[in-house]
Chain A
Amino acid sequence: MADNDPAVRTRGLRRTYGARKALDGLDMEVGRGTVHAVLGPNGAGKTTLVRTLATLLRVQAGYAEVVGIDLAAHPRLVRRRIGLLGQHAAVDEELSGRQNLEVFGRLYHLGGRRAAARAEELLERFGLAGTGRTPVRAYSGGMRRRLDLAASLLVDPDVLFLDEPTTGLDPRGRGEVWNAVRSLVGGGSTVLLTTQYLEEADQLADRISVVDGGRVIADGTADQLKEEVGGDRIDVVLRDPGRLAEAAAVLGGVSATGRADTDADTRRVSAPVADRMAALHHAVRALDAAGIAAEDLAVRRPTLDEVFLHLTGGPAGAVPGEHEEVSA
C-alpha cells in the first residue's frame, strides 16, 4: 500500500471464455505516474485485461493488484482508486454533459454541491463548458469521448484505464482525446491505455507492452520497440511489377538489415532503414541509375503489423500454435 507500489502489477493473470484463452499468463508492471500503453491487435486480450483491472471481470486465475490492493480480495477498495474509460461511451445520451457528471459525482459520494462544482470544473477543463442543456446525443464523437474522460476523472483517480480511447474517432476527435490524455500526465496520474495503433502508443506512452494471445510478448519504450523492428522503413511502389526483384536488390543496398521485402500484389518493395533522409536520398539515386520507374516512394514508421511480424514471426493476431485462441 506504500506509494512506491507500482500502479498495476499482474502475475500469471489468466482468463478463459470457454475454450478461448483471453489472458494466458499475463505479467505486467506499470510504474506510478507513467502512461503505459498496451498495444495489440483485436482479440489479443487488451479489453479483457482492462476490464479485469477495473473490477468488471473477476480474477479467474493468477494475481493482479492496483496501487498495491489485491483485486481479487478487495474489488470495492480498488473502485475508489480508479477511473475507467471503456470502449463504449458510458454516458447517458438523453442527459446533458453536466447532468451526467453530476449523477456520477453523487454516486462517488461527493454530495450535491461538490458534485455540481466538480462537474463545472471538468466541463471547463475539457472544453465542454458551453454545451449547456444540449443532450449528449447531439455531441460529436470527440466531445462524447471527452465527457466520458471527464466522468472517469471525477475523483482524481490514482490509475486511469482507457480502453481504445480513440477507436472510431475522426482525426480531429483523436487529436482532442490525445491532448486531454497528455494534460493528465502533469497531474501525476497513472494512465494505462490500450490501443491497436503504434502511432498512438508512440504519441502518448512512456512505456509500451505489446500483447498477443493474452500474453505480453514485448515490453519497452517506443524507441526500443521500433529499434527492435528496425526503425523506419522505406516503401517503393513500382510501375512495372516485372522489376520487383531488381528493385529489391537495389533497396537491399540502403537497407539496415541488408535485405528488402517484396509484395507482388501491391508492386511494393519495402526495407528497414537506419537514417531516413540518407536512405531516401540513396534510394532515389540508385533506382534512377538502374532505370527503375517508381510510382510512389515514401519513408514511414513501421506499422503494428510489422512489429508483430518481427516479434512473433507471424502476422498480427496469429502467434504460432494459438490461431484459435486469438480469433475474436
Chain B
Amino acid sequence: MSDTAYVPPVAGTAPLHGSAFGWWLADSWTMTRRELARWARRPGQVAVNLAFPVVMLLMFALFLGGAMTVAGGGEYTEFLVPGMFVLTMAFGLEATMTAVTQDLGRGVVDRFRSMPMAPSAVLVGRGVADVLESAVSLGVMLLAGLAIGWRWHGSLPAVLSAVGLLLLLRLAMLWCGIWLGLVVGRPELVMAVQILVWPFAFTSGVFAPPESMPGWLGALAEWNPLSATASAVRALFGNPGAVSASWPAENALPLAVLWPLLLLAVAFPLAAARFRRLGR
C-alpha cells in the first residue's frame, strides 16, 4: 500500500515499529478483549443469552417431546438435543448482528475508523469474542442436554468433531451476521432479520426430519446448511437421525464442513468490503 511508503518523522504520533501483521494481531486481540470486557460488565444479559436456548430446549423436549416419534426409532430427546445445539449456533447470527448495528449507531466504529489501527481488527475482534461466547453457550447446552437424559454414544474424537462442526457453523453464521449488520446498519432493522431466522431454522432437520415434511419443503430442508450440521453431529454423537436416502442426507458430514466454509468464503469478503466502503 502506498500509505506505508512514507512515514512522517513527527513526534507525538503513534509509534510505527513492528510488522503490519503483528499490529493486526495486536489490534484484533485488543478488540477481542474489549468485547470480553463488555461481556463481563453485563452479567445479567449474558445469563439471559445463555438461558434462552436452554429454555427453548426444555420447552421442545418437555412439552412437545412426549408427542413426537422419531422415524427409524429412538428417543425424541436424543434426536432433538443435537438439533438444538445447531439452532443455538444459528441464532448467534442475531446476537452478532445486533452488536454490530449497536456499535455503528453509537459512533464507536467512527472512532475506530478514524484511528491508525488495522480496520479489519474491528470485525475480527467481534468474531473471536463471539466464537468464545458461543463455546461457553454450547458447553451450557451440553450440560442441559445431559440433564434431560440426552447422551452421546460416539467416541471422544467423534464428540469433539461434533463440537468442532457446531463452532464452525457458528463462525459462518457470525460472519453472515457481521455482513448483515453492516448492510442493515440500524438496530431497528435487526428485528426484520430476526423474524426471518425462525422459518429458516425450522425449514431444516433441526426439529423434525425433512422426510416428514411436504415434498417441496422437505427438499428445501434437506439442503439447508443447518440440516447438514444437524445430521452430521447426530451421527457423530451416535444419536438417532434422518433415515432418508437422499444425496444431502447421505453426505451430511462433508456438507457440514463445506456449507459453513462456503458461507464464510462469501460472507467474510462481503463484510470486509462493506466495512471498507462505509466511507464511500
How many B residues are at the interface, by size bracket? 35 or more
Q: Is the CB of A74 within 8 A of B30?
A: no
For this complex, 20 residue pairs linking A to B, each with C-beta atoms less than 8 Å apart, are A56-B110, A58-B280, A74-B2, A77-B7, A79-B116, A80-B8, A81-B8, A84-B114, A86-B111, A90-B106, A92-B106, A92-B108, A94-B41, A94-B42, A95-B37, A103-B30, A107-B112, A107-B115, A107-B117, A158-B10
B interface with A by C-beta (< 8 Å) = 1-4, 6-8, 10, 12-16, 18, 23, 26-27, 30-31, 33-34, 37-38, 41-42, 105-108, 110-117, 121, 278-280
Question: A64 an interface residue at 8 Å Cβ cutoff?
Answer: no
On chain B, the residues within 8 Å of A110 by CB distance are 14-15
Top 5 A-B pairs ranked by shortest CB distance? A88-B107, A90-B111, A76-B3, A90-B107, A94-B41
Q: Considering the complex, give the chain B residue whose CB is closest to the CB of A110.
A: B14
Q: Considering the complex, give the chain B residue whose CB is closest to the CB of A133.
A: B41
A234–B116 CA distance with the chains assembled, in angstroms: 51
CB distance from B40 to the nearest CB of A (A): 9
Q: Is the CB of B114 within 8 A of A81?
A: no
Known: A90-B107, A156-B12. A104 touches B279 (CB 8 A): no
On chain A, the residues within 8 Å of B115 by CB distance are 79, 104, 107-108
Beyond contacts A57-B279, A86-B107: 19 other A-B pairs, Cβ-Cβ < 8 A, are A51-B279, A54-B114, A55-B114, A56-B113, A58-B280, A74-B3, A77-B6, A77-B7, A79-B116, A80-B13, A81-B10, A87-B107, A88-B106, A89-B107, A94-B38, A103-B30, A104-B111, A107-B27, A151-B111
Q: Is the CB of B2 within 8 A of A73?
A: yes
Known: A86-B110, A93-B106. A80 touches B279 (CB 8 A): no
On chain B, the residues within 8 Å of A84 by CB distance are 110-111, 114
A41–B129 CA distance with the chains assembled, in angstroms: 42
A110–B117 CA distance with the chains assembled, in angstroms: 12
Question: A116 an interface residue at 8 Å Cβ cutoff?
Answer: no
On chain A, the residues within 8 Å of B31 by CB distance are 107
Q: Considering the complex, give the chain B residue whose CB is closest to the CB of A57.
A: B279
On chain A, the residues within 8 Å of B42 by CB distance are 94
Q: Is the CB of B38 within 8 A of A90?
A: no
Partner of B105, one of A69, A73, A88: A88
